[in-house]
Each structure stands twice: as structure tokens, then as C-alpha cells.
Amino acid sequence: MQKAYRLRRRGQFRYVYRKGKTAGQSCLTLSYVKAGRLQAGFSVSKKVGGAVVRNRVKRRMREYFRLQIPQLKGGYYVFSARLPAAQADYHLLAKEMEKLIRRMQLYKEQA
């Protein structure tokens, strides 16, 4: 995923958590704030596992999000992993991310 699409600063994450709408699944939660440009951040707690596990979960989430960028509405997205994400494979994480995005109606309208 290109750097232009990433949320990186603590203040950006805090803004999304405070002002955004949130939805959750068993492995993930999604917080979203409507904005002009599309950016995403990925958060994995140390409770999920060691650095290797946390980075693996983040890589999987980033890759699915990268593939969905052309179909998504603009805004700030923050995906937070829960404990079961450590054992989840790519397909399960992708399915949960898709469910969250659909539930919050964040796909662009198909014409």
C-alpha cells in the first residue's frame, strides 16, 4: 500500500477513534470518519502476540485494503485487530474486513 494512503500519526488515530463510527467482528474492529481523501491505519495490540505475529496481521490487513482502494469511499479508516486475529489466516481477515466495510456501507455505489 502506498504511503499516501496510510494514517501514521497518533493524532490521526485519536481523531478517528473519537469522531468516527465503529463496527466490530470477532477478529477486527473498523472505525471510520468521512473525509476528502482515502487513508487507512492498522492497529494491533501487544495482547495479540509478539512483533512477528503483529506484523503478519498488519501485512495481511494492508494487502486486502490495498486491493480494495479503487472501490472504497474517501475517508479515514482504522482497523484494529482483536486477539483471534493472531490465528486467523489471510482469507478470514479479508472476509471480516469485507463484512465490516459492507456493514458501514463504505463501498462506492456501483453504476
Q: For residue 73, is it within any domain? A: yes
What is the per-residue pLDDT for 109?
Answer: 82
- Give the pLDDT of residue 93: 97
Identify whether 61 is part of a domain: yes
For residues 6-34, average pLDDT: 96
Angle (CA) 2-26-99 rounded to 5° is 55
Does residue 111 form part of some domain? no
Query: What range defines the domain where residue 73 resides?
Result: 3-103
The mean per-residue pLDDT over the stretch 100-104 comes to 97
At residue 110 the predicted structure's pLDDT band, cuts being 50, 70 and 90, is: low
Tally of domains in the chain: 1
What CATH number corresponds to the domain at position 95? 3.30.230.10
Segment 35-91, tens digit of pLDDT: 989 999 999 999 999 999 999 999 999 999 999 999 999 999 999 999 999 999 999
- 12-36 burial, b at 16+ Cβ within 10 Å, e below that, comes to bbebbeeebeebebebbbbbbbeee
pTM above threshold 0.75: yes
The answer to whether 44 touches 73, Cβ cutoff 8 Å, is: no
Instruction: Quote the pLDDT of residue 5.
Output: 93
